[in-house]
Amino acid sequence: MYGGNHLHAAAPPRNHPHRHLLSSEVFYFIVSLAICVICFLTAFYIQAYSHQYSEVFHFPESFVRDYGRVERKLKVYIYPGGDFQSPTEMTGMYGSEAYFFKNLKESRFLTTDPLKAHLFFIPISWHQMRTQGTPYEKMISIVENYVESIISKYPYWNRTDGADHFFLICHDIGLEVADGVPIFSKNNSIRLVCPAIPYRHIPYKNIRLPPVNQPFSHPPPGNALPQVNRTSPGAGIPNSEIRASLEQQWKDDTELESELVWNDTAEGYLLLDEKIHRRKFCICLHGFPTNTSLIADSIRYGCVPVIFSSYLNFPFNDVLDWHKFSIILAEEDVHLLRDTLKGIRRANFTRFQNNLLKVQKRFEWNSPPLRFDAFHMVLFDLWQRHFNEPTSVLEIFPGTPDLVSAAIRMWIMAAFARLVFRDVDDVIVFVKVNNTVALAAATYEAYSPNEDPAVVMHVRKERTAAAIQDVVRSKLPNEDSFNHDRNGNVHLRKSYIGNT
């Protein structure tokens, strides 16, 4: 003890183990990789599920993806109104009208809240008014007063000038009445047109409905369709010049037998049924009203339709590739038919017939409606017509199923590039084009050590390039950082790009 004062030696500093924190670049890369795995799994599902449609749809992957969106999101509001809204005829050439009314009212797409609606249905039954004996002039007055009352009571028509509204026409008198209503003459609204309407069809605004099949005695044959090598050229009006030409061609032909099957009696329909059920090809001549009915019947029975038409707009033509399950010839090419049919090999015919089996459900009307049936395909067409958005503004990787997938792949590449090029900030640009947020993804070009890293955006559509360039220019320090190559790619010599 040396008094009360104690000398305490300072404790040596404790050695803490050094914590190696992940750099932001590594963390960015790991998170991006995880998201990319999820995206690839989703893309794999879409590609696998869409494979069954690859032969009959124009864009099978887009159809699978967008059809799912329709089922999850689409809501339709039906305006209330008078007694003329409920058609009752469920068969015949106007049956599509009644089925659509009934299906919509019993489907999950219907909403009673117009604020939740994407589309608005004006429930006018022209055929019902005609059946009730309503004069033409009075029909115009009824429709005009009804539409004007909708516009004055609800704000939704004026919001889009009727572009998100649609109505249905299944009677030729409906076209004349609609033309007599000034508000409809602008063609802003979408028209659902029954197949019995042969004229005034506007492909980018109108949607063709498939007809309702007549009740037949045979069930759809499926894969058991008899492989009989015969044809039936018999649908069309009795004085059809095309049919007369076919009869003249096949007058002495023993391999391709020509038989007339059309008449307007019930026995005629049964006879038509028997003949379609036994044949490979069904020749569908253009004429009112049997052309579209026979096309639908041919599809139902796996009889490959041979269609003579230079202008007929087919149901779901934007979605289904009709050339994969039917033979379409211009009316002036009637002389080529015999050689065309004889030139089809067995393997090609089998492909046609298998594709017919794939599309049969798309032309069926059911109550209640079933997935992928005619009603759902009409709603899908409505969704496409109304929203009409490009699937993407930019294409980085050809064949990618989704723009988001491409962007995430680019995100991974960007993260890796940031590990290499520490002086580069962002390589992903968010661009708003036509009220749609698109991703302008970027890649790194090979460059010499003395050059700055270059970023390239591959612009798919020329009309969007100017909008993208304006956004990019607003984020760059000077014009020298922005240029084009001879291929039209946009080069950014320095990356000072943020989110817009």
Residue 305, domain CATH: 3.40.50.2000
Asked, for residue 230, whether it belongs to a domain, the answer is yes
In whole angstroms, give the CA distance from residue 321 to residue 352.
12
- Indicate the pLDDT class of residue 165, thresholds 50, 70 and 90: very high
Boundary-marking domain end, from 348, 364, 380: 364
Boundary-marking domain end, from 315, 347, 364: 364
- Indicate the pLDDT class of residue 379, thresholds 50, 70 and 90: very high
**pLDDT value, residue 269:** 62
> Which range has the worst mean pLDDT, 15-24, 317-326, 411-420, 436-445?
436-445
Q: Is the domain of 419 the same as that of 397?
A: yes
Q: Is the domain of 266 the same as that of 179?
A: no
> Which range has the worst mean pLDDT, 236-250, 282-296, 306-320, 476-490?
476-490
Q: Is the domain of 199 the same as that of 227?
A: no
At 200-251, the pLDDT tens digits run 556 667 888 888 875 555 555 544 444 444 454 444 444 467 767 777 777 6
Q: Is the domain of 245 the same as that of 145?
A: no
Q: Is the domain of 231 the same as that of 202?
A: no
Q: Is the domain of 414 the same as that of 455?
A: yes
Print the domain residue range for 492: 21-51+389-500
Asked, for residue 203, whether it belongs to a domain, the answer is yes
**pLDDT value, residue 344:** 86
User: Is 79 in contact with 167 (CB distance < 8 Å)?
Assistant: no
Q: Is the domain of 432 the same as that of 353?
A: no
In whole angstroms, give the CA distance from residue 100 to residue 366.
10
Asked, for residue 138, whether it belongs to a domain, the answer is yes
Domain count, the chain: 3
Cα dihedral value 22, 24, 26, 29, nearest 10: 140
User: Is 362 in contact with 353 (CB distance < 8 Å)?
Assistant: no
Q: Is the domain of 155 the same as that of 187?
A: yes
Q: Is the domain of 412 the same as that of 451?
A: yes
Asked, for residue 213, whether it belongs to a domain, the answer is no
Asked, for residue 373, whether it belongs to a domain, the answer is no
Q: What average pLDDT score do residues 292-300 get?
A: 81
Q: Is the domain of 192 the same as that of 228?
A: no
Q: Is the domain of 30 the same as that of 106?
A: no
Q: Is the pTM of this model over 0.85?
A: no
User: Is 272 in contact with 297 (CB distance < 8 Å)?
Assistant: yes
Q: Is the domain of 417 the same as that of 486?
A: yes
Asked, for residue 217, whether it belongs to a domain, the answer is no
In whole angstroms, give the CA distance from residue 411 to residue 475.
20
Boundary-marking domain end, from 330, 364, 398: 364
Indicate left, alpha or beta for 175 from its phi (over 0: left) and psi (-120 to 50: alpha): alpha
- Indicate the pLDDT class of residue 454, thresholds 50, 70 and 90: very low
Asked, for residue 13, whether it belongs to a domain, the answer is no
Asked, for residue 1, whether it belongs to a domain, the answer is no
